[in-house]
Structure 1
């Protein structure tokens, strides 16, 4: 086979559905069958009468014609009713015609094409698109099939490489190689795609090849689907464990072995809460903590489930020394000096402190925003809203940025227990209820302060953390096995599909 043609399968990130992936695979089998039969390969310019860049204009609510943009081209076609308007003084030059092919020439969808069909009113195309007008001796739909095959994508991705911004131009497009065949064969291939009528040996071979590929594709997709179900089960299992932890169900036996001693913070949560309040009062007296307004008592109808008799319901603000916003400063590219921890520096509950950027600050900022071990920072806005990070083994002096909120736990409770609470269903329900009360999802220090939490005695908190850690380690290993099996299945699929086109 001519080495200039690469029919191999490759994963395309913008293809989201199995049906679209199968469509690309089927088109590739057709292109390979054509090549095997005719051995004719030409640059795309041979099949084109013209290439043309689109019209530069801004989209408007009204105008003398529609303006088709890259974003108007969807997987299921074009909804012309939603395409915006523009005023174009050169409609004849840019007017779209039936069977025109448009190709995106820049951005993440570079190379993506659409075939113009069922156009009902004057429409022009925007400047980030290239029009391919197909010559009379070629079927536009045949060329469109080629443009939606891995033979095309392997070439377009090569053209995109080596540039900072992915793009192709009209000249590059015309150099792409395609397998050619007589016009009547093109017509039969197009008809086959619509009605699956086999009229020649090319189609017979292509159908046989695609059936084999489709069978492999279906079997491997079943494996991946089962894998996704297992991942979902593991995720629900984690949440169930955390829920049992904060409801006292993991430590029933421990309480039997360690009955409540009234007034002992290790076994009596009311005594523990009193100890926390005494700690906060000492800090207020010493001028190290600002006195805050008393928090509202938790109403009966707020309590979502029962807890053990030696536990107590309280608000997050009652067991934290302080809950406050971060430092408003710009990150500096260098990673020396005092750091500025941002939401984006927290990945998978870990921070690479050496890579956290620095910032400008004054001594007063250090006193207010310097992170310490056992602090918990919480993302207050954006896609990671509510995500938490427990600071431990901190290796660099670091402040925390303004899109984070810090909760400083009392020194007489387990910060690890508090972190477990901040991953459980009760935490997420309260946080989402507070965050989505306005147009832009965000959580503030006040809403966090007022979260209600079941507080166990101190010794039981430590027992809960140990049990949760043991169970989560088991689940993490299971999760890694599931991920490994999924990666193996995906690798197998790509290997099988690549080999199918060798």
Structure 2
């Protein structure tokens, strides 16, 4: 019972740290930082260029954010934005074709084949067992959801709120079913978004788009609409560093207690 109590307290502290971070209360704001509005304009321009080059598809316009939607106030240098506007790409396996087409073109293997099909369960066992593969034809058919390392993967069925960063396994990789991939072009943006999804406010946003009675789920269309509080890029870097530092101290404290 004692260990469970300590584990619970550590988790509550992690959630508090993340909550403070997403409200702009974990690190100080620096008036010299370029405001988040400038960052968002840069992201928009970069996405428009990728669309011109044919590297990504043009996204449908997302609804404007109303004051009533904003769950809390954020610092003046921050901006609220929808995830679909913040991320370079939000997709899943079925974006490559219908269920029938995927069944016809994508064969699955339990022995090593051309490409690894990344499941959220693979992160728990460090990609050491129960892996799923597909052949080269399947990999090419799933080109819209191929992975190259650095993407975020969210479980969108059952374990709502779980988020992982795809490692570079130095082999062809593609997304398995029941997951959504979110790609952001910059390391700092990725780390901040990773922490946001695991934070209480991120979790709350995910549950707003989740439905189902026996099996909870959400889809990529809903995910694109959730609200993200975006700090200036420099502050995102400071926030991620502070979270990493505090989480490392918590892990050390937990191990000492055990």
- Under a length normalisation based on structure 2, what TM-score does the superposition of the two structures give? 0.87
Question: Which of 215, 233, 253 is equivalent to 2:9?
Answer: 233
Cα RMSD after superposing both structures: 2.2
Matched, 1:454 2:221: no
Task: Tell me which residue corresponds to 2:87.
Answer: 320
* Aligned pairs, number: 247
Alpha-carbon distance in structure 2 between the residues aligned to 1:443 and 1:232: 27
Matched, 1:305 2:81: no
> Which residues in structure 2 correspond to 1:82-231 (within 5 Å)?
224=1, 226-231=2-7
Q: Among 381, 387, 390, which residue is 2:157 paired with?
A: 381
Residue 144 (structure 2) aligns with: 368
Match of 1:340 in 2: 117
What is the distance in 1 between the residues matched to 2:27 and 2:34?
A: 12
Give yes or no for contact 2:188–2:237 (8 Å, CA) kept in 1.
no
Q: TM-score, normalised by structure 1?
A: 0.46
Shift of residue 353, structure 1, vs aligned partner: 6.4
CA drift of 1:334 comes to 0.8
What do residues 56-100 of structure 1 show as CA deviations (whole Å, max 9, x unaligned)? xxxxxxxxxxxxxxxxxxxxxxxxxxxxxxxxxxxxxxxxxxxxx
Q: Is the 8 A contact 2:93 2:142 kept in 1?
A: no
Bigger RCO (CA 8 Å, 6+ sep) = 2
Q: How much has 1:458 moved relative to structure 2?
A: 1.0
- Among 48, 52, 60, the alignment partner of 1:285 is 52
2:202 pairs with one of 416, 427, 434? 427
Quick one: structure 1 residues 423 and 237, their matched pair in 2 at CA, closer, same or farther if it must change by over 3 Å?
Answer: same
State whether residues 267 and 460 of structure 1, in contact with CA within 8 Å, keep that contact through their aligned partners in structure 2: no
Which is greater in Rg? Answer: 1
Gaps spanning 5+ residues in structure 1: where?
1-223, 261-265, 485-502
CA displacement, residues 2-25 of structure 1 (integer Å, 9 cap, x when unaligned): xxxxxxxxxxxxxxxxxxxxxxxx
Match of 1:445 in 2: 220
* 8 Å contact from structure 2 (residues 153, 163) kept in 1: yes
Seen in structure 2, the aligned counterparts of structure 1 residues 281 and 412 have a Cα distance that, compared at 3 Å, is farther
- Out of 403, 409, 412, which is 2:178 matched to? 403
Spell out, residue by residue over 1:383-404, the C-alpha distance to the aligned partner (whole angstroms, 9 max, x if none): x233111113333221111211
Match of 2:89, SS? strand
- Cα deviation code 1:178-214 (max 9, x no counterpart): xxxxxxxxxxxxxxxxxxxxxxxxxxxxxxxxxxxxx
Shift of 1:361: 4.3
Q: Structure 2: which 5+ residue stretches go unaligned?
A: 95-101
Q: Which segments of structure 1 move beyond 4 Å, counting only runs of 4 or more?
A: 327-330
**1:390 lines up with 2:165 in the alignment:** yes
Q: Which residue of 1 aligns with 2:247?
A: 472
